[in-house]
Amino acid sequence: MSAPTCEGSRSPVSQTRPAAPHPDELRGDCANCFGLCCVALPFAKSNDFAVNKASGEPCRNLRDDFRCGIHTRLRDSGFPGCTVYDCFGAGQHVSQVVYGGVSWRKAPETARQMYEVFPVVRQLYELLRYLTEARALAATRPLHADLDRALARVTGLTGADAATLEQLDVAPVRAEVNPLLLRSSALVRAAAGGRPKDRRGADLIGKRLRGAKLRGADLRGALLIAADLTGADLSLADLIGADLRDADLSGADLTGALFLTQPQLNAARGDAATRLPDGFERPAHWAR
């Protein structure tokens, strides 16, 4: 699968790891990747994908240069699922750092392991994405030392060799990081004032939430599929893991929303009046 932010080319990935990644490293860079999401990951024929594809089978749209042949028309070609995926930078790290720029085509004996390593590193990079965001917030200053340690710990894991990464169990790492993200969220959302709503993990599928006052709400893991959030106030809300597929965010305010990702926005609907946090792109399929 290919993320919509991948088509632009950036400078080659460094072969060495810094103490913590720069935010620019936490986005997929297909120019420096071996099309790993288009090969390693399986998908089933559905509304999201036009065909079935097994893990390890190259997508029929993957070109010889590892780029997507239908990148600019994925939705129209029956592959909207590809537009809501981002490896958070894991693809270029596995390709250029872990495997030193030698692709699965040039060294087919590495293919099976590479396909196992990629999803492990993707999980680590997702954690780095959230930790980096939390560390950048002024409200989390009391936790900066703890966040720095967590960033160093997870970044160090990404620097392991392929054999170590293949066997790495990410679940305990997530268990270590999650309480820190929860504490970060609480500090930020406290600025919302009052008693923010707790809708963590709530089933809000198809709910009419037009104009809802959800400033500072805990919406971690909430199911908001096809929910009507037109004009809703989601500023400072914690949206980590929230399912926004086909949710209507037209005119909604997401400024300061915590742990929101570009794939979540790509899965939703919105318009020119939707207010986004800094650093996010308005999806091309949104109403103008």
Q: Give Cα separations from 38 to 87, 97, 172 (angstroms).
A: 11, 19, 28
Q: Which domain holds residue 137?
A: 23-187
pLDDT one-digit tens code per residue, 142-159:
999 999 999 999 999 999
Say what angle helices 171-189 and 111-135 make with each other, to 10 degrees: 20
Quote the percentage of the chain above a pLDDT of 90.
82
pLDDT at residue 21, as a whole number: 73
pLDDT at residue 19, as a whole number: 56
In the predicted model, is pLDDT for residue 124 greater than 90?
Answer: yes
The domain that contains 234 carries what CATH number? 2.160.20.80
In the predicted model, is pLDDT for residue 230 greater than 70?
Answer: yes
**Averaged pLDDT of the chain:** 91
State whether 127 and 213 are in the same domain: no
Per-residue pLDDT band at 105 (split at 50, 70, 90)? very high
State whether 221 and 183 are in the same domain: no
- Among 121, 152, 187, where does a domain finish? 187
State whether 211 and 245 are in the same domain: yes
State whether 62 and 180 are in the same domain: yes
Across 66-75, average pLDDT: 90
With CA atoms as reference, report the closest residue to 40 among 62, 57, 65: 57
State whether 32 and 165 are in the same domain: yes
Tell me the DSSP string of the chain.
---TT-SS--PPPPSS--SS--GGGGS--GGGS--GGGTTS-B-SSSS-SS-B-TTSPPTTB-TTS-BTTGGGTTTTT-GGGGG---TTHHHHIIIIISTT--TTT-GGGHHHHHHHHHHHHHHHHHHHHHHHHHT-GGGGGGHHHHHHHHHHHHHHHTS-HHHHHH---HHHHHHHHHHHHHHHHHHHGGG-S---B-TT-B-TT-B-TT-B-TT-B-TT-B-TT-B-TT-B-TT-B-TT-B-TT-B-TT-B-TT-BS--HHHHHHSB--TT-B--TT-PPPTTS--
- Number of separate domains in the chain: 2
- Among 187, 213, 246, where does a domain finish? 187
pLDDT one-digit tens code per residue, 199-218:
999 999 999 999 999 999 99
The residue assigned the tokens 């929230």 is 242
Across 270-286, average pLDDT: 94
- Among 171, 187, 203, where does a domain finish? 187
In the predicted model, is pLDDT for residue 17 greater than 80?
Answer: no
In a domain? residue 228: yes
pLDDT at residue 42, as a whole number: 93
Across 244-268, average pLDDT: 96
pLDDT at residue 22, as a whole number: 79
State whether 61 and 133 are in the same domain: yes
In a domain? residue 38: yes
State whether 148 and 273 are in the same domain: no
pLDDT at residue 137, as a whole number: 95
In a domain? residue 48: yes
State whether 282 and 142 are in the same domain: no
In a domain? residue 2: no
Please tell me the number of Cα atoms within 13 Å of 165 on its side-chain side.
28
Whether the predicted model's global pTM rises above the 0.85 cut:
yes
State whether 183 and 264 are in the same domain: no
pLDDT at residue 108, as a whole number: 96
In a domain? residue 1: no
Residues β-bridged to residue 228: 208, 248
In a domain? residue 11: no
State whether 42 and 121 are in the same domain: yes
Across 172-195, average pLDDT: 94
In the predicted model, is pLDDT for residue 41 greater than 60?
Answer: yes
In the predicted model, is pLDDT for residue 8 greater than 80?
Answer: no
In the predicted model, is pLDDT for residue 268 greater than 80?
Answer: yes
Token pair, residue 14, equals 């460094």
Quote the percentage of the chain above a pLDDT of 70.
93
Yes or no: say if 135 and 128 are a contact pair by the CB < 8 Å rule: no
